[in-house]
Amino acid sequence: MIKHFKLFAIVLAMIIVVVACAAPPTAVPPAPTTAPQATVALEPTKPLGPTATPGGRFVNIAVQFDLTGFYAPVVRNAFRAVNDYVAEINSKGGIDGVRVELLWADHGLNIQRAQSVYKRFVDTKPKPLFLETAWSTENETLKDAFAKDQMPTIGAGLSVPSIQPPGYIFVILPDYASQFALFLDYVKANWKDTTRNPKIAFLTWDNAYGRAMLTDETKAYAKKLSVDLVDPVFISLAAADTTAELQRIAALKPDYVWTNTLPAQFAVALKDNKRLGLNLQFVGVTWLTLEEIFDNAGDAVEGMLAVRTFALGDETNLAGVKAIQETMAKYHGAFIPNNFAT
């Protein structure tokens, strides 16, 4: 499937290996207000239960994710990977004999619920060793609270305000602005027309994630490289038709159209682009390389570019990827190379 994309590689500072599935952890979710969206999910075929640890010692870790709502098809896979890791560690007696307890909650992309869930977690005894999040908006909103409470937070929401100025949030991949800057380097290196500058348009979401590639620094960097940027065109999180927005983009005559969205939703724009015969050259942030883009867009994804900031699931010559392949196949009966669990 990698033939559908041209990928721009970044040297990885870290590869986090997660291992295969088991029974779900103890849940502490508030009642969801948004119905879950359909997603393809692997089910465990051989659950692993935790092994008793000496003296019943344990530590807490916490996860607050959007397991319902628009990001859920991607984020559910990440949650499964966290759950699998904890279960596998406990099946082997924990970490140096200490059991890991996973506390989790679904905030459904509701910032008030995210704040409430965090307050509950930080007041838990023993206090979680760390928290994991997957939403740029909650990172930016709760950043000061994380620092005040000295709560180390592993974030998959990669907006620059999450980490600048530095605090207690540690993102798992290069931030979205850095990913866009990498693409700017690609454009500069490959542009051959000496009569004009390359032009980049944006079809994206009007939220912290959707706007995260455009910072003062990336705008200045584009100007330095003589790459023209135009104002973004926004689509809704639940866009069913993007014809009007695509026609606005096409009228700008861009060379590239960048998006900070997610596969299931952006597939609508890809299919509309093909239906309208616009031949826009789309470029996606790293999450647009996940398996869900193929499931939802089919051959409309052909020719799309994307920045990839972690190893490909097909690179089974790498020890970490091979371990993931083996554990997925063992406990799920199948290996999906490029979803968020991998």
First-to-last alpha carbon distance for the chain, in angstroms, is 15
- 165 upstream amide cis, omega within 30 of 0: yes
Per-residue pLDDT reduced to its tens digit, 82-104: 888 888 889 889 999 999 999 99
Scanning the chain, the segments in alpha helix (DSSP H) are: 72-91, 111-122, 136-148, 160-163, 176-190, 216-224, 243-251, 263-276, 292-297, 319-332
Q: What is the pLDDT of residue 53?
A: 52
| pLDDT tens string 104-127 | 999 999 999 999 999 999 999 999
How would residue 340 be classed by pLDDT, with cut points 50, 70 and 90? low
Flag the least confident range among 10-19, 68-77, 261-270.
10-19
- 289 within domain boundaries: yes
110, 132, 134, 122: which is closest to 33 by C-alpha? 110
- Beta carbons of 202 and 258 less than 8 angstroms apart: yes
Both 157 and 190 in a single domain?
no
Residues 86 and 135 in one domain: yes
pLDDT for 17 beyond 80: no
Whether residue 337 is contained in a domain is answered as no
Same domain, 164 and 204: no
DSSP annotation of 340 reads T
Chain centroid to Cα 297, Å, comes to 18
Which is more confident, 314 or 41? 314
Cβ 22 vs Cβ 44: under 8 Å: yes
275/212 same-domain check? yes
Say yes or no: 281 and 258 in one domain. yes
pLDDT band at 6; cut points 50, 70, 90: low
CB 130 within 8 A of CB 153: yes
Please indicate, yes or no, whether residues 21 and 160 belong to a single structural domain of this protein. Answer: yes
Greatest C-alpha distance within the chain: 74
Q: What is the mean pLDDT of residues 151-166?
A: 96
Q: What gap in Å lies between CA 128 and CA 134, rounded to an integer?
A: 17
pTM of the predicted model as reported, rounded to 2 decimal places = 0.81
142 and 243 fall within a common domain? no
Reported confidence tier of residue 73, pLDDT bands at 50, 70, 90: confident
Residue 200 lies in a domain: yes
Contact present, 260 and 213 (Cβ < 8 Å): yes
337 pLDDT more than 90: no
Q: What is the pLDDT of residue 13?
A: 30
In a domain, 251, yes or no: yes
Question: How many DSSP H helices and E strands does the chain contain?
Answer: 10, 12
- Give the CA dihedral 332, 336, 338, 342, nearest 10 degrees: 20
Q: Is the residue at 342 inside a domain? A: no
Residues 166 and 180 in one domain: no
Q: Would the pLDDT of 55 be above 70? A: no
The more confident residue out of 236 and 32 is 236
The 3-state DSSP class for residue 131 equals: strand
Asked if residues 288 and 304 have their Cβ atoms less than 8 Å apart, the reply is yes
- Residue 143: strand, helix, or coil: helix
Tens-digit pLDDT profile for residues 292-328: 898 899 999 999 999 998 888 888 899 988 888 877 7
Contact indicator for 229, 285 with CB cutoff of 8 Å? no
Rounded to the nearest 5 degrees, what angle is found at the Cα of 278, between the Cα atoms of 273 and 283? 60
Check whether 26 has a pLDDT greater than 80: no
How big, in percent rounded to 5, are the helix, strand and coil portions of the chain? 40, 15, 45
Mean pLDDT of the chain: 85
Peptide bond into 126 cis (omega under 30): yes
Query: Is 338 domain-assigned?
Result: no
| Residue 29 shares a structural domain with residue 69 | yes
- Same domain? 159 vs 59: yes
Report the alpha-carbon distance of residue 86 to residue 178 in Å, rounded. 31
pLDDT at residue 291, rounded to an integer: 80
What does 172-232 look like in DSSP terms, one character per residue? SS--HHHHHHHHHHHHHHH---TTS--EEEEEE-SSTTTTTT--HHHHHHHHHTT-EE---
Does 3 fall in a domain?
Answer: no
8 A C-beta contact, residue 7 and residue 308: yes
Q: What is the CATH number of the domain that holds 254?
A: 3.40.50.2300
- Count of domains forming the chain: 2
CB atoms within 10 A of CB 138: 27
In the predicted structure, residue 194 carries a pLDDT above the cut 80: yes
- 154 and 250 inside one domain: no
Region 250-272 average pLDDT: 97
CA 340, CA 81: separation in Å to the nearest integer? 8
In a domain, 2, yes or no: no
Same domain, 38 and 167: yes
Query: What amino acid occupies position 79?
Result: F
- Tell me the C-alpha distance between 134 and 64, whole Å: 8
Instruction: Look at residue 22 in the predicted model and tell me its pLDDT.
Output: 34
Task: Find the domain containing 304 and state its range.
Answer: 176-308
